[in-house]
Amino acid sequence: MGRVIYWMNTSIDGYIEDRDGGIDFPDPDGDFHRAANDHVRRFAAFLFGRRLYEAMEKPWTQDLGKEDAPAEEREFARLYKETPRYVFSDTLQTVHEGGTLVRRDEAASVVARLKKEVDGTMQLGGSELAASLVDLIDEFWVYAFPVIVGGGKPYLPVRSELRLRLVEHRSFASGALFRRYVRS
């Protein structure tokens, strides 16, 4: 049985984007990249909203996997390209190799089916997509960077309370913090 984790990087005040839609968090250190790679190595699939897919696809399939990139980034690029990507969008007409396009009105049924069929962890990314699939999420992961943006797009824009229990946390030399929560 597959598990869905929702993972997004945030500012310490809980935003995945600033007010202008930017994601200008401090550059993560090598220790952070190694931890992220350890997570991604175990993923059976990525489940992305359109905007996150567009932000991830070109850098990790073309730019950052090049020989002159740091070893941790090259490894992440390799892992990213090897992992199946499901892209939930009503505006895209195609996705790149390794991706499967799913219309948003099919998201809940496709993710529920994947949870039954996939043996492993699937990483869900994109706050609006996560909010629409919140009942299917098993764990909530937050990598918070040491910056305050003062507003923007929140980590999870839901209208009801979710009680969670912290099961893992870690800090990095860069000041970034990792927290993993499960439902209470």
**The whole model's pTM is what?**
0.92
| Residues of the chain below pLDDT 50 | none
Reported as a single tens digit per residue, the pLDDT across 117-164 is 999 999 999 999 999 999 999 999 999 999 999 999 999 999 899 999
Residue 155 DSSP class? S
- The CA-CA-CA angle for residues 106, 107, 112, to 5°, reads 105
Nearest CA among 60, 82, 55 for reference residue 72: 60
pLDDT of residue 63: 65
DSSP 3-state of 120: coil
Range of the domain at 86: 3-183
The CATH number that applies at residue 58 is 3.40.430.10
pLDDT of residue 132: 96
Domain count of the chain?
Answer: 1
pLDDT of residue 66: 66
pLDDT of residue 67: 72
